[in-house]
Structure 1
Amino acid sequence: MSGDNLSLAYALHVLPDRLPAGRPTLNDILSALGDRGLALILLIFSIPAIIPTPGIPAGMIFGSALALIGGQMVVGAKRVRLPSSIAQRHIGQDVLRQVFQRATPIIEKLERRLNIRLAGVMSPLAMRVIGGVIVVMAVLIALPIPFGNTLLGLAVLALSLGLARQDGVAVLVGLSLAILAGGVSVALVHGSLWLFDTGLRVA
C-alpha cells in the first residue's frame, strides 16, 4: 500500500505520456500505473477533485472511482478493480495533462516534507477505517455540492500522500481534513436546501 520509491511528483508528471493518445479511460490510467501502489492511485484520482477540470464532470467520475477504491480498502482487497461502467469512462488526455502539470509542483513540495513516522497509524485495521473515510469523502465529491469538492479532495490527497510515504502525521492530517470537509459539506447542503426552500416560499 505504500507505493514505490520513485518520486510521486515524477510519476504524476510522466503519466499522461504513458496513456493512449486522444481520450484515455480510467482503466487506461490504472493499467499505466500497474502495480505502483494503491496510494498513488488514490493520489491521482483525488487531484481532479481539487483542480478545476473544464469539459468533464470530474466530481462524478473520479468521486465514483474513489468510492469504489475506498470500498475495496475496507474489505482488504489487494488489487484495485473498477466496474466497466466506471473503468470505461473517457477523460481527455489534454485535460489530464493540464491538471497534472498544475498539480506536480505542489505534490513535489509536499513530498519533501514527508517522513516515515507513526507507522501504527497504518495498521491493517486502520487501513480499513481509512478506506471507509475515503468512501464518505468520495461520495460527497460525487454529489453536486457547490464549492464542496476542494476540502474533500485535499483530505483524500493528504491520506494518499501519507500512505504512499508511510507518514502517519500526514494520514492524521488527512483524517482531520476529512472531519472538517464533512462538516463543511453538510453545512453547504443545509444552506443550499434552505435557500431553495426560501426561494420557493417567496415565489
Structure 2
Amino acid sequence: MNIRDLASRLRDTAGQLPPGPVPLAALAEAHGGAWQASLLVLLAAPCLLPIPGVGSVLSIGLALLGLTLWWRAPHADLPARLGRLSLPSEGASRGLALMARFYDLVHGLTRPRLTALAGPSSRWWLGPMTLVMALLIFLPIPFGNLLPAMSLMLAGVALAARDGLLMLASLTMGAGALASSAALLMLGWQACLALLGLAA
C-alpha cells in the first residue's frame, strides 16, 4: 500500500466509524500495518510546539513505542492486550482524518526505495533511536525538542511509505540532534562550573 492509498483508507474509515467506543485494534487495522508509523508522527508532532510540559509527557509514550519497535518488527500487528483498549468514536475519527490529511501532504515527497531500510529489519536501529530521541525530548534543553521530534516524524513517514532514503534522513537528523544536545549540555555544565568558580 502506498502512502496515498493509506491516506484514502484512513479517510474512509474515519467516515464509517460506528458510534460508541472504538477498539484500538480496529484503528490499527485501518492503517494496514502502519500503525507504528502513525503513532510516531502523532506523538512527535506536538513536541515541535513550545508548550511547557508537552514534551515531557509525550516522551514517555515515545519511549514505550521505541521499546515496542525494538521488540516487535515494524508493520507487526498491534499487541492483543493493547488492541482491546478503546477510544471514543469522535476522537478516533478526528485522529484518522488528521493522519489522512498529513499523509496527503507528504505523499509527493515519498516513494518505496531502499525498502530494506524501512522494513522489518529497521527495528534494530529505529527502536534504539526512538528511545534516545525520547530522552532528548524529555530533557529540559532549550529548543532541544525540535530536531528529535522532526527526526521521529521523518521516521514515521519513512515506515509508512517504505522509504529507506527518508529513513536515512531521519537517522542523520537524529545523529545531529544527539550531537547538538550533547554540546548544549556540555556548555551548560561548563557555565555552571564557571558560576560556582570551579572552572579550571
- Secondary structure, counterpart of 1:180 in structure 2: helix
Partner of residue 24, structure 1: none
- 2:65 equivalent among 53, 66, 69: 69
Which ranges of structure 2 fall in alignment gaps of 5 or more residues? Answer: 15-19, 86-90
What residue in structure 2 maps to residue 51 of structure 1? 49
Counterpart contact for 1:67–1:138, Cα < 8 Å: yes
Distance 1:200 1:81 in 2: 54
Q: How far apart in 2 are the matches of 1:51 and 1:108?
A: 22
For residues 160-199 of structure 1, the aligned pairs below 5 Å read 160-199=156-195
Q: Distance in 1 between matches of 2:127 and 2:71?
A: 9
* Correspondence for 1:132: 128
1:151 and 2:147 are equivalent in the alignment: yes
Aligned to 2:17: none
Structure 2 counterpart of 1:119, from 100, 109, 115: 115
Cα distance, 1:120 vs structure 2: 1.1
3-state SS of the aligned residue for 2:179?
helix
Which contiguous aligned blocks of 4+ residues in structure 1 show a shift greater than 6 angstroms? 80-83, 103-107
Normalised by the length of structure 1, the TM-score is 0.69
Deviation, structure 1 residue 109: 4.0
* Identical residues among aligned pairs (%): 24
Q: Is the 8 A contact 2:4 2:104 kept in 1?
A: no
Q: Distance in 1 between matches of 2:132 and 2:149?
A: 11
1:88-141 deviation digits (Å, cap 9, x = unpaired):
xxxxx9xxx9xxx8x998865433211111111124232232111111111111
1:174 alignment partner AA? S
| Residue identity in the other structure for 1:68 | L
Deviations 1:70-92 (A, max 9, x none): 11111116426999xxx9xxxxx
- Post-superposition offset of 1:65: 0.7
Output the TM-score relative to the length of structure 2.
0.70
Residue 151 of structure 1 and its aligned partner are, at CA, apart by 0.5
Instruction: Specify the alignment match of 2:27 in structure 1.
Output: 34
Instruction: Tell me how far apart the structure 1 counterparts of residues 182 and 147 of structure 2 sit (CA, whole Å).
Output: 12
The alpha-carbon deviation at position 31 of structure 1 amounts to 4.1
**Root-mean-square deviation (Å):** 3.7
How far the C-alpha of 1:6 sits from its partner, in A, is 3.1
- Give SS of 2:172's match: helix
CA contact (8 A) 1:152 1:181 kept: yes
C-alpha distance in 1 between matches for 2:80 and 2:154: 22
Superposed CA deviations along residues 32-55 of structure 1, whole A, max 9, x for unmatched, are: 9820311001111000111223xx
What amino acid is aligned across from residue 34 of structure 1 in structure 2?
A: L
Cα pair distance change 1:67/1:201, threshold 3 Å? same
Aligned equivalents of 1:82 and 1:198: distance in 2? 52
Count the aligned residue pairs.
171
* Counterpart for residue 23 of structure 1: none
Distance in 2 (CA, whole Å) between partners of 1:33 and 1:197 is 54
